[in-house]
C-alpha cells in the first residue's frame, strides 16, 4: 500500500501541479512550472496552487493581466530562460497592483512589472501588505507606484540588483519605491531613475540600509527628492551615486525628517557617497530638519547626523541643523568623473582620488566602511 501511494503521488507530480498530500508523503518540495508548454499556463493559477515552501518557475516571456495574491510563507518565484514581463493591461489584484504579498520569506527573481494603474492611483508593481519579501533582479516600470508597502511594523523588504523607472501618476504623488512604516528596508546594487515629481526612493522604515545604489534623475527626470526619510529613523546610506537633475521641484538630494519625527531612534549615516547637484538654482546635497519643528512630530526625538567621506559636485550645501559629525567631505568639479554627461561618476583617475577616506567605524553593528562599489547597470563588485 505504501508503494502504491508513493507511485500515485509521483503521477500527481508529473502533471505539473503538486498537491499537498503528494508533497507530504514524498518529502519533495513543491515545484510548479508555469508557461505555454506546461499544464499551468498562468502565474495566477500557480499562486492558487502554491503551498508554503513552494518553488515556482516561470518560463521567460510576456504575461498579460496575470495578477496574483501570495499568502503562503517561504515561496520562491523565479524566471527561467530569460526575463518574465508582467503587463497589467488594466488588471489589478484587490485593486492594489499586479502582485499583492501577504507572506513571510517570499523571494522573487527575474520579473519586470509594468503598467499597474488602479482607481485609488496607487497601482503598484508589487504591493507588500505584510510579511518579508526579497526582490532580486526585477524591474518596475510605468506603474503608478513602483513597489509600495503598507504601514505594518513587522514587515521587512529587501531589494537587490533591481531597477525602478518612469513610475508616475497624473497628480505626481508617486514614488519609484515607497516603504511605509515598516521594520526594515534594505536596498543594494539597484538603479533608480526618471521619477515624475515624486521621489526616487522614499522610506518611513524604522531601519534603512541603502548601500551601493545609483539614484539619478537623468535627462527629463523630475524627482522631488532623490532619497527621503520623511520621519527619520535609522538610515545607513553608504557608497551610493546620487544625482539631482535640472528639472527638480525640490532643491535637496537627500532629505531627513522633513515631515516630523515619529520614531524613537533617529540618526543618518551618510558615508562614502557621490552627490551631484545639477539643479540650476542653489541646491542642497543634504537637508536635515531639527526635531520639534514638524507638525507631525510624535516623539521627543534626538537627531544626529554623520556625513563623512562624501564627494560633492555641483552648486550645493549641507544643510544640517542638528548635532552632526561632518568631516572629510570634498567638493569636486565634474571633470574628475569618467563621463558625467552620461551619469558615469566613476573617477577618471582612481589612482589619485580627490578624497583620502578616514575610518568611519562601525555603528550599531553596521560597518560604515564601503566594501563594494556600484557597477552599472544594477550590479556591485568588491573594492
| pLDDT band for position 282 (cuts 50, 70, 90) | confident
- The SS3 assignment for 309 reads coil
CA atoms within 13 A on the CB side of 298: 8
Domain contains 203: yes
**For a pLDDT cut of 70, what percent of the chain falls above it?**
90
Long-range contacts formed by 78-82: CB under 8 A, 24+ apart: 78/107, 78/108, 78/109, 78/110, 79/109, 79/110, 79/111, 80/33, 80/110, 82/110
For residues 280 and 249, the answer to whether their CB atoms sit within 8 Å is: no
Please report, for the domain that includes residue 100, its CATH number: 2.160.20
Give Cβ neighbours of residue 180 (< 8 Å, ≥ 6 apart): 148, 149, 150, 151, 152, 204, 205
User: What average pLDDT does this structure show over 365-377?
Assistant: 97
Tell me the sheet residues that pair with 104: none
| pLDDT band for position 4 (cuts 50, 70, 90) | very low
For residues 358 and 308, the answer to whether their CB atoms sit within 8 Å is: yes
Domain contains 8: no
For residues 266 and 233, the answer to whether their CB atoms sit within 8 Å is: yes
pLDDT at residue 348, rounded to an integer? 95
Tell me the sheet residues that pair with 259: none
User: Which residue range forms the structural domain that includes residue 240?
Assistant: 31-382
Express each pLDDT in 340-353 by its tens digit: 999 999 999 999 99
Give the C-alpha separation, 58 to 70, whole Å. 15
- The SS3 assignment for 6 reads helix
User: What average pLDDT does this structure show over 45-72?
Assistant: 98
50 pLDDT exceeds 50? yes
Give the C-alpha separation, 174 to 123, whole Å. 10
Number of structural domains, the chain? 1
Give the C-alpha separation, 100 to 378, whole Å. 24
In the numeric block, the cell 504623488 is attached to 173
pLDDT at residue 2, rounded to an integer? 43
For residues 328 and 308, the answer to whether their CB atoms sit within 8 Å is: yes
Express each pLDDT in 201-234 by its tens digit: 999 999 999 999 999 999 888 888 999 999 999 9
Give Cβ neighbours of residue 215 (< 8 Å, ≥ 6 apart): 192, 193, 200, 201, 226, 227, 240, 241, 242, 243
Domain contains 16: no
CA distances from 72 to 29, 49, 99, 131, 379 (A): 14, 10, 14, 10, 30
User: What average pLDDT does this structure show over 23-42?
Assistant: 87
Nearest CA among 47, 177, 32 for reference residue 100:
47
Express each pLDDT in 141-186 by its tens digit: 999 999 999 999 999 999 999 999 999 887 767 899 999 999 999 9
pLDDT at residue 27, rounded to an integer? 64
For residues 318 and 307, the answer to whether their CB atoms sit within 8 Å is: yes
Express each pLDDT in 297-335 by its tens digit: 666 568 999 999 999 999 888 999 899 999 999 999 999
Number of CB atoms found within 10 A of residue 263's CB? 19
Domain contains 10: no
In the numeric block, the cell 544625482 is attached to 243
Domain contains 97: yes
The per-residue pLDDT of the chain, averaged, comes to 91
**For a pLDDT cut of 90, what percent of the chain falls above it?**
80
Number of CB atoms found within 10 A of residue 358's CB? 10
Domain contains 5: no
| pLDDT band for position 9 (cuts 50, 70, 90) | very low
pLDDT at residue 25, rounded to an integer? 60
Give the C-alpha separation, 51 to 297, whole Å. 43
For residues 41 and 72, the answer to whether their CB atoms sit within 8 Å is: no
Domain contains 4: no
Q: How many helices (H) and strands (E) does the chain have?
A: 3, 37
Give Cβ neighbours of residue 37 (< 8 Å, ≥ 6 apart): 59
User: What average pLDDT does this structure show over 80-103?
Assistant: 98
Give the C-alpha separation, 160 to 163, whole Å. 9
Domain contains 12: no
Amino acid at each position: 500500500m505504501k508503494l502504491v501511494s508513493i507511485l500515485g503521488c509521483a503521477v500527481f507530480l508529473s502533471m505539473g501541479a503538486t498537491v499537498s498530500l503528494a508533497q507530504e508523503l514524498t518529502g519533495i518540495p513543491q515545484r510548479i512550472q508555469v508557461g505555454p508548454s506546461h499544464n499551468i499556463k498562468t502565474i495566477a493559477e500557480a499562486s492558487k496552487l502554491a503551498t508554503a515552501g513552494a518553488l515556482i518557475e516561470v518560463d521567460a516571456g510576456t504575461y498579460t493581466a496575470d495578477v496574483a495574491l501570495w499568502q503562503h510563507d517561504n515561496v520562491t518565484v523565479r524566471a527561467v530562460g530569460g526575463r518574465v514581463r508582467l503587463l497589467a493591461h488594466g488588471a489589478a489584484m484587490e485593486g492594489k497592483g499586479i502582485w499583492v504579498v501577504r507572506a513571510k520569506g517570499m523571494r522573487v527573481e527575474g520579473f519586470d512589472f509594468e503598467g499597474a494603474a488602479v482607481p485609488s492611483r496607487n497601482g503598484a508593481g508589487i504591493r507588500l501588505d505584510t510579511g518579508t519579501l526579497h526582490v532580486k533582479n526585477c524591474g518596475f516600470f510605468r506603474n503608478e507606484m513602483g513597489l509600495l508597502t503598507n504601514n505594518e511594523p513587522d514587515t521587512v523588504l529587501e531589494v537587490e540588483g533591481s531597477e525602478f523607472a518612469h513610475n508616475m501618476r497624473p497628480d505626481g504623488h508617486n514614488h519609484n519605491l515607497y516603504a511605509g512604516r515598516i521594520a526594515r528596508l534594505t536596498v543594494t546594487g539597484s538603479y533608480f531613475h526618471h521619477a515624475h515629481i515624486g521621489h526616487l526612493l522614499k522610506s518611513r522604515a524604522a531601519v534603512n540600509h541603502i548601500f551601493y545604489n545609483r539614484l539619478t534623475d537623468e535627462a527629463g527626470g523630475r524627482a522631488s527628492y532623490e532619497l527621503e526619510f520623511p520621519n527619520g529613523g535609522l538610515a545607513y546610506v553608504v557608497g551610493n551615486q546620487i544625482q539631482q537633475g535640472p528639472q527638480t521641484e525640490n532643491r535637496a538630494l537627500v532629505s531627513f525628517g522633513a515631515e516630523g519625527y515619529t520614531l524613537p531612534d533617529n540618526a543618518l549615516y551618510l558615508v562614502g557617497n557621490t552627490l551631484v547637484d545639477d539643479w540650476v538654482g542653489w541646491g542642497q546635497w543634504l537637508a536635515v530638519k531639527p526635531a520639534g519643528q514638524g507638525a507631525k512630530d510624535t516623539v521627543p526625538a534626538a537627531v544626529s547626523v554623520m556625513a563623512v567621506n562624501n564627494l560633492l559636485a555641483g552648486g550645493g550645501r549641507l544643510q544640517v541643523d542638528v548635532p552632526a559629525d561632518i568631516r572629510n567631505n570634498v567638493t569636486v568639479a565634474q571633470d574628475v568623473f569618467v563621463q558625467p554627461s552620461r551619469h558615469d561618476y566613476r573617477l577618471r583617475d582612481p589612482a589619485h582620488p580627490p578624497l583620502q577616506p578616514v575610518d568611519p567605524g562601525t555603528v550599531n553593528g553596521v560597518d560604515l566602511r564601503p566594501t563594494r562599489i556600484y557597477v552599472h547597470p544594477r550590479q556591485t563588485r568588491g573594492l
